[in-house]
Amino acid sequence: MSRLARAVLLTLLVIWPFAAHAQKDSVTIGQTLEPPTLDPTTGAAQAIREVTYLNIYEGLLRIDRDGKLQPLLAESWTVSPDNLTYTFRLRRGVKFHDGSDFDAADVKFTFERAMAPDSTNAQKWIFAPIARIETPDRYTVVITLKEPTGNFLYGLAWGDAVIFAPETVAENRTKPIGTGPYRFERWVRGDRVELVRNDAYWARIPAISRATFRFISDPQAQVAAIRAGDVDALSNLAAQEAADQLKNDANLKVVVGNTEGETILAINNAKPPFNDVRVRRAIAHAIDRMAVIDGAVSGYGTPIGTHFSPNHPAYVDLTGTYPYDPARARALLAEAGHPNGFNATLRLPPPPYARRSGEIIAAQLAQVGIKVSIEPIEFAQWLDQVFRNKNYDLTIIAHTEPLDIGIYARDDYYFQYRNPAFNALMAKIGTTMDEAERNRLYGEAQRMLTTDAVNVFLFQLPKIGVWNVNLTGMWENWPLPANPIAELSWKR
Amino acid sequence: MLALLVRRVIGLVLTLLAAAVVVFVVMEVLPGDPAAVMLGVQATPETLAALRTELGLDRPAPVRFATWIIDLLQGDLGISYTYRVPVAGLIAERLTITVPLALLSIALSTAIALPLGILAAARHDRPADAGIMVFSQIGVAVPNFWFALLLVLLFSVTLGWLPSGGFPGWQAGIGAAFAALALPAISLALPQAAILARVTRSAVLDALGEDYVRTARAKGLTRAATLRRHVLRNALIPVVTIMGLQFSFLLAGAIIIENVFYLPGLGRLVFQAIAQRDLIVVRDIVLLLAAMVIFINFAVDVLYTLIDPRLRGQRT
């Protein structure tokens, strides 16, 4: 018998007894990208949050699976009548994974670190409104803001505002220490991260004792891994079309949900001829959104008509504003002085949704006389040429941060959209504390973007989760990228 | 032998220096800022500047090049921008997969190809030869990633015998590690075996046509003994050349197979590093691969002299 055959046989003998145990209390989750580090303050990579948020680290508040704010390390809070002072009561008896106590000093340390000039926190805006942080006693934190900020609490629930201990923060990149229900155990770089249950957790001890995140970037490899049972769940399929192959598998459940990622055809609003709103409206009329969704994401994206998530209560459905109408598009182009259309470039970053949408949109724009040349580029190049230097005509990208409509108020943003009325509206929303009023203003802002046809708003990026039919508790939508293991369990 | 060694070492240093300059310049010219890739689209310019300072990216290019080379000479490969751990450790982890995988594949492909190639030559123009040639034609034509998917469908999804991918680590036991490497090694080995079998067959056929073979047969040696004593040794030179090329290819070019089997090997590391502009990792790995290819070529040259005594005089 060859060495190989012997090795294979030996493995089978080792694996068999474990495979026979149907009742397991561990879980393996496959995800497309590997986190570069396990410290969310070192970069914007979503994969860091997918592994660590609510598993290893916790913040004062959290977002639940419905996108609602919930208390976490802060038991409760009060806001002063002038909306400037937030007083948080912290939970007692919470310990970090290294055994040290969690208290107000940790909160003060974490937030001041994030605000510091040399901070590399990718979401510094969360902490920008803070004027000072006081800790009158061990379990009280008083935060005073420079001006009322409607989204302050919401920002504190993000994976970028989780609480660290000053003693261990420097090691978090490779040996993360938090207060969460799971402790970090091992990271085999390029392959997996392993977490074990924190039996000293302050709240209910979760059902799953061990969790492994496996990093599988190839779509076909993901399909093979879940069908072979090497992973129990795929939090978000790398290729939407693979969903159809998996739907027929009786052992698997395919769940189509939403993310906060608005996929848009971004337009350089400062560059002729795109500085003419008629040209931008013509482009909007020339694009058949449903055909793009069918072709690019196998029909799984929710159409959007503005830069806002359909999951949010303030969402306004504006998808009917510019119905697919090539004749109307041609008329608008003629009116703007381009009866024979014009040439334009479309720069496409690597994600399949962008590359495929780009092919379809180029064909649709050709129908109305806009001759588009496609330039596939890498993400690093996209950041450099499109995002930073604004050297582009058209591009396709999903903006995955939740509630990011405020980017349209940044005059130096790559859309180069400059509308003082919109900026004023955003400033007003920022200081409006009443939720109903804020949502009304958000509605107004959405309409303004659509009226100005700043970009062509295509679809909300889907989250196609696939998991074993016996696994319950996976998040169906991603109000924030997260896979909280504590909410999972195996059916008996 | 000593002179050869000295020449080789000088060549190695010069080639590595050239490779270092080329890879540094190419990565400099490519648009894309590692800090921007890490911080994404919400970061403020101040945050970006802070990170660039932290990574040392705010220093001029010649200074960074000099620092890199000086650190390398002291055995320090630097710190990865994205992972923020020493590059030496990252590469070492990956080599524990890539090198065994390459060795396993080359062993497997040799074990398949040499007997088949010799058999085909010995049975020239007979059914066995035709059959082997058809097999090798298919092996050359089928892309290895597609073949890998078929293997996964059969052995992992349908039969459930072997894992569909990933690597448990050597600490999980030699059996589990080999089980994880079995399908990737087979997928890499078969197309290589097909090429190697063809090369072996034609090398043996060439040798069979030589005068000394006719002489050997004329003095009464059997066909099999002629093959063993006179043909094989002479046919080995082109075979070893191809094996050397294949081994270099396996070290550097297993990116696709590593993706299909989500193996954390060197190929996937360099692929990720390029996309994320982890410049220092890219530079170090390219240099390492250049060094390994040069070393393999050297090893092949040494093998030549062992196989063929006639070459010894020429080379010293």
Interior angle at CA B246, CA B241 and CA B252, nearest 5: 135
Question: B94 to chain A nearest CA, in Å?
Answer: 8
Which residue, among A322, A343, A301, has the nearest Cα to A452 in the 3D structure?
A: A322
Position A18 scores a pLDDT of 46
Share of chain B above pLDDT 90, in %: 8
| A20: contact with B, CB 8 A cutoff | no
* pLDDT tens-digit readout, B178-236: 888 999 999 999 888 998 998 888 888 888 888 888 888 888 888 888 887 788 888 88
* Interatomic CA distance for residues A467 and A29, integer angstroms: 9
Share of chain B above pLDDT 70, in %: 97
| CA dihedral for A471, A473, A477, A479, sign (positive or negative) | negative
Q: What is the pTM of this model?
A: 0.84
* Interatomic CA distance for residues A412 and A422, integer angstroms: 14
A376: DSSP letter: E
Neighbouring-strand partners of residue B183: none
> Are the CB atoms for A68 and A312 separated by under 8 Å?
no
Lowest mean pLDDT among A35-44, B77-86, B113-122, B307-316: B307-316
Position A3 scores a pLDDT of 54
Quote the radius of gyration of chain A (alpha carbons, Å). Answer: 24
Q: Which residue of B has its CA nearest to A190?
A: B264
Contact A36 B179 (CB under 8 A): no
Q: How does strand A192-197 pair with strand A140-145?
A: unpaired
Backbone angle region of A298, left / alpha / beta, with phi > 0 → left and psi within -120 to 50 → alpha: left
Q: Which amino acid, one-letter code, is at A182?
A: Y
The structural architecture, per CATH, of the domain B96-264 is Orthogonal Bundle (1.10)
Chain centroid, CA B157 distance in Å: 28
More confident call, A22 vs B100: B100
Chain B contacts of A44, Cβ < 8 Å? 38-43
More confident call, A466 vs B73: A466
Question: B6 to chain A nearest CA, in Å?
Answer: 38
| B147: contact with A, CB 8 A cutoff | no
Q: Which residue of B has its CA nearest to A215?
A: B262
Which residue, among A224, A150, A256, A177, has the nearest Cα to A475 in the 3D structure?
A: A256
Sorting pLDDT into bands at 50, 70 and 90, what band is B253? low
Q: How does strand A85-90 pair with strand A140-145?
A: antiparallel
H-helix or E-strand spanning residue A194: strand A192-197
CATH 1.10.3720.10-classified regions of chain B: 96-264
pLDDT in tens for each of the 492 residues of chain A?
Answer: 455 555 555 554 444 444 444 568 999 999 988 898 999 988 888 899 999 999 999 999 999 998 889 999 999 999 999 999 999 999 999 999 999 999 999 999 999 999 998 888 989 889 999 999 999 999 999 999 998 888 899 999 999 999 999 999 999 999 999 999 999 999 988 889 999 999 999 999 999 999 999 999 888 889 999 999 999 999 999 888 889 889 999 999 999 999 999 999 999 999 999 999 999 999 999 999 999 999 999 999 999 999 999 988 899 999 999 999 999 999 999 999 999 999 999 999 988 899 999 999 999 999 999 999 999 988 888 888 898 889 999 999 999 888 899 999 988 899 999 999 999 999 999 888 888 999 999 999 999 999 999 999 999 999 999 999 999 999 999 999 999 999 999 987
Q: Which amino acid, one-letter code, is at A170?
A: A
Position B34 scores a pLDDT of 82
Enter the ipTM: 0.78
Position A230 scores a pLDDT of 92
* Interatomic CA distance for residues B188 and B151, integer angstroms: 12
Q: Which residue has the tokens 């420079």?
A: A146
Beta-carbon pairs below 8 A across chains A and B:
182
Reading the block at residue A334, the tokens are 């003629």
Helices (H), A23-168: 46-52, 104-115, 152-156
Question: B45 to chain A nearest CA, in Å?
Answer: 10
**Overall residue count recorded for chain B in this entry:** 316
Chain A contacts of B47, Cβ < 8 Å? 119-122, 124
* pLDDT tens-digit readout, B270-296: 888 888 888 889 889 988 888 888 888
Burial of B209 (0-12, 13-18, 19+ CB in 10 A): exposed
Position A139 scores a pLDDT of 96
Q: What distances in angstroms separate CA A91 from CA A72, A73, B267, one per listed residue?
A: 8, 6, 47
Q: Which pairs with CB-CB distance under 8 Å and at least 24 residues apart come from B153-158?
A: B153/A224, B155/B183, B156/A224, B156/A228, B156/A230, B156/B183, B157/A224, B157/A227, B157/A228
Return phi, psi of residue B217, to 5°.
-65, -40
Q: What distances in angstroms separate CA A491 from CA A18, A22, A55, A312, one per listed residue?
A: 18, 11, 21, 31
| A379: contact with B, CB 8 A cutoff | yes
